[in-house]
Structure 1
Amino acid sequence: MDQLTAEDPPRIGPYRLIARLGAGGMGRVYLARSEGGRTVAVKVVQAEFAQHAEFRARFAREVTAAKRVGGSWTAAVLDTDTDAETPWVATQYIPGPDLHAVVAEQHGPLPEQSVRVMANRLALALQAIHDAGLVHRDLKPSNVLVTVDGPRVIDFGIARALDSISGDSLQTRTGMVIGSPGFMSPEQVRGLHVTPASDVFSLGSVLAYAATGRQPFGATGHGLHAQLFRVAEEEPDLDGLPEALLGLVRACLQKDPTQRPTPEQVAARTATEGADE
């Protein structure tokens, strides 16, 4: 969390800004407070994206659908203004570090039972997202918040809106890739039709990272194209993954989307009594 700067507006819609929570390829995220005193996270879309009418229309549809997901294992969408000069969306603020920070900066790989519980909760989150007619498209460690009540998924449905402006006009200018290379599915890499099964592949990569501290298809240190090739064509590196999780993660990381388990099946395979911690 960082202090506001002179370039930050004092308010976005009805929300008074308090601090910066982060920034990414799509825009900037602020900690804000409503007039009634509720603390929320407000994501503001980059002006570059806001100039595209097709993006605005898709973004509005995605946010409307995201409101139906609710707050079970996700950060619920509370408010939005897709007609503003710079569109924004406000979600439930959930305190807690993201999974990347927990693994890479704080504690290292998680214990087997913790990864199993995380698999169950993330599968339930994906089930709710898919039931609302959405595909996350960018499930990655930094989009998983680790809280005292369990993991929460954020930014669901937003990456799909970016697809509407990922043609030559924007692709040539920025080299933008929809999704995060180390956690994309093979069909995303190949530019094919993306279904809910794509999120299951990303889930497998996230679980492998949580359990081993490594991306299963390597980092981008040797080049983005090499990493994308590994995702599309090569087998994942699952060395160090606990034996009890190996079958599940391998199933999620099948290249053929039709061979992957559904979120419901992942949830069933990882359900354990007394696993609330």
Structure 2
Amino acid sequence: MRTPVSDPLTLGSYRVVGRLASGGMGWVYLGRSRSGRALAIKVVRPELASDPEFRSRFAREVEAARAVSGAFTAAVVDADIEGDPPWLATVYVPGPSLAEAVRADGPLTASAVRTLGVGLVEALQAIHAVGVVHRDLKPANVLLAEDGPRVIDFGISMLGGANPITRVGEVMGTPSFMSPEQLRGEPAGPASDVFALGAVLVFAAAGRPPFGSGAGVMYRITEQPPDLDGVPAGLRGLVGACLAKAPGRRPDLDVLLDGLIGVRNSAQVWPPPRVAESIRVRTDDLEARNHSRGPVLPVSSYLLLHAQALLDAGLTDALVAEAAGRG
């Protein structure tokens, strides 16, 4: 297999067009089928792919993602869990994540937060209907499409009520958006996703998680009330209920959906204007790629991708700067 410094040219029967993102688990590439269909292909890092336990966890992610179907989740198209490297392909959503959108343009309007909430509730209903608990719902795992949000990344989901593949007491997830029971290493159920949903809606409305981040966040989540400043008055009761410390005190998704629909008004605007512009730019770029025989990234983007690859490989900033200068 190719090293991360040289991105793959193909994955399975799909041509790799460019890199979309990278993280601790691996890389996400924009791929294209022979017919021109755009896909997001997640590739596992070699050091993780060589770990049998991680491969089992990745296989469960694929199983969970394939089991889920709904208007507000990104459908799985193909996967190779035995490959070198293993990969998972889903429908490509040409929109920013909620984390990107808020970071770039600030919190969403009250109307947009309500529409986001309705979509996320329906996504969780589809996920829970097949016995899956997401366990890592967060702004980076919510893509903003033209017709609503898409929930992605089932990397630490659990299927059919089985125990997740973790060590006893191991905490998995993103602390700022995790439920108290998850932080204590206790089993996570559908109510844990409801807690994360409340935290995501606070982030969308206020531009920050309800319990902050960094040092002390685990204590604040388990022991202190959430900070709901910035959350629209009509949503505070619903969001606050989602963030109850005890799972049994959180609303179920049907009740939550009724509440969100009840506070929506006819003036709702989706997608938000800046998000709509981001979708337009990404769609235009994708269209340009689809009419080309090869990647159409400008030279500067190639340099950025190569620099990121060098950083991923553990090289120093000086080496990256030298490589970019030679380019």
TM-score bucket (shorter structure)? 0.7 to 0.9
Q: Cα distance, 1:100 vs. partner?
A: 1.2
Correspondence list, 1:43-82, <5 A: 43-82=42-81
Does the CA contact (< 8 Å) of 1:66 and 1:132 recur in 2?
A: no
Does the CA contact (< 8 Å) of 1:98 and 1:144 recur in 2?
A: yes
Find the residue that maps to 2:157 and give its secondary structure. helix
How many positions carry a matched residue from both structures? Answer: 261
Instruction: Please give the root-mean-square deviation of Cα atoms over the aligned residues, in Å.
Output: 2.2
CA distance in 1, matches of 2:167, 2:17: 32
Q: After the TM superposition, which parts of structure 1 deviate over 6 Å for at least 4 consecutive aligned residues?
A: none
> Which digits, 9 at most, give the CA deviation of each residue in 1:15-65, with x for residues without a partner?
111111111222110001112221100001222332232332343233223
CA distance in 2, matches of 1:267, 1:22: 32
Q: Cα distance, 1:71 vs. partner?
A: 4.3
Contiguous gaps of at least 5 residues in structure 1:
172-176
Q: Cα distance, 1:264 vs. partner?
A: 2.2
CA distance in 2, matches of 1:104, 1:201: 22
Q: Cα distance, 1:185 vs. partner?
A: 0.9
Does the CA contact (< 8 Å) of 1:119 and 1:207 recur in 2?
A: yes
Does the CA contact (< 8 Å) of 1:207 and 1:249 recur in 2?
A: yes
Match of 1:252 among 225, 242, 248: 242
CA distance in 2, matches of 1:233, 1:201: 14
Q: Cα distance, 1:77 vs. partner?
A: 0.9
Partner residue in 2 for 1:164:
165
Does the CA contact (< 8 Å) of 1:27 and 1:43 recur in 2?
A: yes
Larger Rg: 2
Instruction: Quote the sequence identity (%).
Output: 50
Find the residue that maps to 1:89 and give its secondary structure. strand
Q: Cα distance, 1:67 vs. partner?
A: 1.5
CA distance in 1, matches of 2:60, 2:174: 22
Give the TM-score, by structure 1 length.
0.87
Partner residue in 2 for 1:174:
none
Find the residue that maps to 1:152 and give its secondary structure. strand
Contiguous gaps of at least 5 residues in structure 2:
271-327
Match of 2:213 among 208, 215, 219: 219
Partner residue in 1 for 2:188:
194
Find the residue that maps to 2:67 and give its secondary structure. coil
CA distance 1:97–1:166, change in 2 (3 Å): farther
Find the residue that maps to 2:165 and give its secondary structure. helix
